[in-house]
Chain A
């Protein structure tokens, strides 16, 4: 049975965590994520969950505590944002390499400095090589749905990797939205029991995790992680489709929007894809410009093959990046271009929205027009441009 509720992004992730009812959650507050754990702590205090809630002294400790709990056989979650994620850095890699299926909503926010608490993707983009699966959410509904699916994806025996559920700070975290939720039992049936037979508390089959591995073994462990990421592609798709059967909201690695006949397509992540869809509709209607949008839901593992397929007949592709890889350009752009190396048409990169700067419908429209002009002139220059920077 489903119920329509009005929830913010933080509420929706917290509500999903409540329904998941993890064994252990360890967390430390950081804006704009604070509200999420605030809400979850209330579920703990009210006895709505059976979770052991550990209040720690930093994000480094939060991640360390959930790694320990996960290795002891517990289903574990935490949440963070921006500099909090940065403080977890060391343990992010350890969580992935110890194959801990931790689920972590990350409220995307700019990294300091200058100090800025608003939305961009600098935080999770920096963590893209840590070995975590990354799902990006367009709206609060997706934040809720992704959090529930993340449990299944993370714990899948072919995967067993931690998952970040990314949602845009303030734009989603603090914005009320009407969304559809499942009842607790439906969620419980969907996620099932977590079983990790080889855990630290199984004294009959004692195991050591994350111990020393030198030149003779380290590389094989890393290849195992790489293999698990490859396996995750089919698992993310399979679980997304199963979730669709259950709720009527199917999920895939990518979501193409009006791409079939499009002359220009914008590729991107998160809430901006909602803006881009609206701009595409408007421009099609008002200017006859055939615009499409390709939303990347799953950024790690990177769905290169599926992306090439979705873009194969598109004459002009633009990629929106809400982060900079300094000295290179936008990280998403470079990955999309690299994936399309063998079949690439011209592409342009638009960096936008850092530190929460709004990308308006007009801005999105202008990006589509820039692509259209480049398509007509055959000159996709400059390769990287910055939307709305005063210079």
Chain B
């Protein structure tokens, strides 16, 4: 484990080290799970913009899916999606395979 900064090495009021949330897996908080229908998805990236947890996976301008390690299931993406391509499904009704089924 890397050595932690000491008090006087830290900038007052600012973040000590970047990525403070990276080690905190909030996916287990989820009750409802966003599942993207890639038949409808236009890759407009609105879900990527509005996601408060940066849990929308994107590569080369295309949405790849949701990072379920961090997605808390807030549902903002589903409400904002202009193509109506994201559905919130009850977590307990989903198998891991069905979730992964959203990948394009």
Contact = CB atoms under 8 A, between A and B. Distances in A.
Contact of B14 (A207, A214, A225, A228): A207
A216 B18 CA distance: 13
A228 B7 CA distance: 12
Contact of A221 (B13, B18, B24): B13
A100 B14 CA distance: 11
A210 interface: yes
Interface string B9-36: 0111111111011001000000000000
Contact of A198 (B6, B14, B18, B24): B14
Contacts of A209: 13-15
B66 to A, nearest CB: 22
Contacts of A160: 12-13
Interface string A351-385: 00000000000000000000000000000000000
Interface of B: 4-7, 10-18, 20-21, 24
A211 interface: yes
A178 B75 CA distance: 61
The DSSP consensus for interface residues of chain B is: loop
Give the most central of A98, A211, A225, A228: most B CB within 10 Å: A211
Contacts of A216: 4
Interface of A: 97-100, 160, 198, 207-214, 216-217, 220-221, 223-225, 227-228
A208 B20 CA distance: 11
A225 to B, nearest CB: 8
A32 to B, nearest CB: 32
A217 B4 contact: yes
9 contacts: A99-B13, A209-B13, A211-B15, A213-B15, A216-B4, A217-B10, A220-B16, A221-B13, A224-B7
Given A213-B20, A214-B20, A208 B14 contact: yes
Contacts of B24: 212
Contacts of A221: 10, 12-13, 16
Nearest to A220: B7
B20 A212 contact: yes
B7 A208 contact: no
B16 A217 contact: yes
B20 A228 contact: no
Given A208-B18, A213-B20, A228 B12 contact: yes
Contact of A99 (B4, B12, B15): B12
A100 B12 CA distance: 10
A313 to B, nearest CB: 39
Given A208-B15, A210-B13, A223 B7 contact: yes
Nearest to A160: B12
A224 B13 CA distance: 9
B12 A207 contact: no
A97 B13 contact: yes
Given A211-B20, A213-B20, A214-B20, A220 B11 contact: no
Contacts of B12: 99, 160, 221, 224-225, 228
